[in-house]
Amino acid sequence: DGGITQSPKYLFRKEGQNVTLSCEQNLNHDAMYWYRQDPGQGLRLIYYSQIVNDFQKGDIAEGYSVSREKKESFPLTVTSAQKNPTAFYLCASSTSGREHQPQHFGDGTRLSIL
């Protein structure tokens, strides 16, 4: 069954700690995306990647980092520089970075501060 798997479902971060959110897809999609969702603000784009070993900053990249070493994987690291990391994080993918392709989403990771 093809889809996007995000793990863990819940994550807690201590002060000064970096944490990494996993995103794996078996849809053979070229493009992958990370969004942050806060109540009442919709989704905001953090980073996106159209191809392996290449990625671009989205609208709110500060305090986050990504890598794209494999087509299937696009992990997101929330660094200690992100002062307000509490949010619901969603990973998505699409067949290409073309603007008319719908994006497919994972079920998210909820990050909270300890």
Partner 1 sequence: AQSVAQPEDQVNVAEGNPLTVKCTYSVSGNPYLFWYVQYPNRGLQFLLKYITGDNLVKGSYGFEAEFNKSQTSFHLKKPSALVSDSALYFCAVSDIGFQKLVFGTGTRLLVSP
CB contact set of 22 (below 8 Å; sequence gap of 6+): 5, 6, 7, 8, 73, 75
Q: Which of 18, 22, 27 is nearest to 7 (CA)?
A: 22
Bond into 8 cis (ω within 30):
yes
For partner 1, the binding residue among 1, 16, 40, 83 (CB under 8 A) is 40
- Choose the stretch contacting partner 1; rule: CB under 8 A; options: 11-19, 39-47, 68-76, 78-86: 39-47
Binding flag, residue 46, partner 1 (CB under 8 A): no
Binding residue (CB under 8 A) for partner 1 from 45, 52, 60, 61: 45
Give the shortest CB-46-to-partner 1 separation in angstroms. Answer: 11
Distance CA 80, CA 52 (A): 26
Q: Which of residues 57-96 bind partner 1 (CB under 8 A)?
A: 58, 90, 92
Distance of alpha carbon 50 from alpha carbon 68, whole angstroms:
10
Q: Is 53 in the site for partner 1 (CB under 8 A)?
A: no
The residues that touch partner 1, with contacts defined as CB under 8 A, are 4, 6, 31, 40-45, 48, 50, 58, 90, 92, 97-100, 102-108, 110
